[in-house]
Structure 1
C-alpha cells in the first residue's frame, strides 16, 4: 500500500504510514443484560484477529462502551462488535472495513437473529440416557467403521487401485 492511494487532505502528515496509533473505539446504543459483555473484534490485512473487551462509560444522557486499541496507522482493517453471554456469541454486528485512525465510533446494529444461551439449550434435542444411549453410540461407531476400511487389510492392492482410479 503506498501513499498514492490515500487522500492527502485526510492523512496526518506527522505520522508515517504504518506507525502504531491509539485508536479510541466507541459503541453506542447497546443494552446489555445480566451476564452479557461486549467485545471489539479486529483483523488486519494479514488476517491476524484480536478481540478487546469494551468498558461501560456512563454519561448523563446515555451509556457508551469504549476501548483503547493500538493499530497500525492508515492500514486497512476489518472489524465487528460481538456480544457474548456465558462464552457464546449471542449477537454480532456486520463486519466493516476501514483504515485505522484515531477513532472508530458506531451504533449497535446486530446482524443475526438473537439466540440467548438459555434458548439454545432449550432447543437442543434431549440425549437418550442409559442403555439406549450406549446402543446409539455403538450403532454410530459401526456405521463409521463400515464407511472407511483401513489400508492394512489383505485387499490392500485393490484399495490402492481404487484410490488411484478415483484420482484419475
Structure 2
C-alpha cells in the first residue's frame, strides 16, 4: 500500500472522529486529521534535526526538528508517536515518547490537523529511512534556535516548537512570521 492509500481518521474541530479516508484524499480535500510530533534528543540533550526528502507528500525538502507523521485510522497518538519515531530514526526498542500537549494546527491554504507533541531520548546510533530523510544531525538547541531564521523549516514543526517552548515557560525563540 502506498502512503497515499493509508487510511486516516477524519476529525472535527474538537478532535472527534467523523469519518475515514485515504491519506491522498485527506490531503487533496484538506480534511482535518491527526499527526504526531516527537522531539528526539540524544544523551547530550541535542535535538535530532533533519531535512525531508523531495518525495514527501507534505513539506518536501524542508527542515524539521521533529520526527513524526500522521496517525493511522484507529491508532492512538501514543502508538503513532512510538511507531513514527522508531521508523524515522531507524531504531527499535525506543522508550515510549512522553506526551506533552495537543493543539489544532491551522496552516496556509486551509491545512488543519490535530497535533500531539511528544518528547523522547535516544542514546544509541540512528539510521533514518532514506525515503524520509535526506540529511540529519543532532544539534544543540542554541544552534537550532540560530537556524530558525536561516533554513526553510516545515511550518507545522515551527508552530509545534514555538508552542513547546512556551509550554516550558521559555521565549518562543522564533523569528517573526506566519507561525506567530
TM-score of the alignment, normalized to the shorter chain, above 0.5: no
TM-score by length of structure 2 reads 0.26
- The higher-RCO structure (CA 8 Å, 6+ apart) is 2
Per the normalisation by structure 1, the TM-score is 0.27
**Rg larger for:** 1
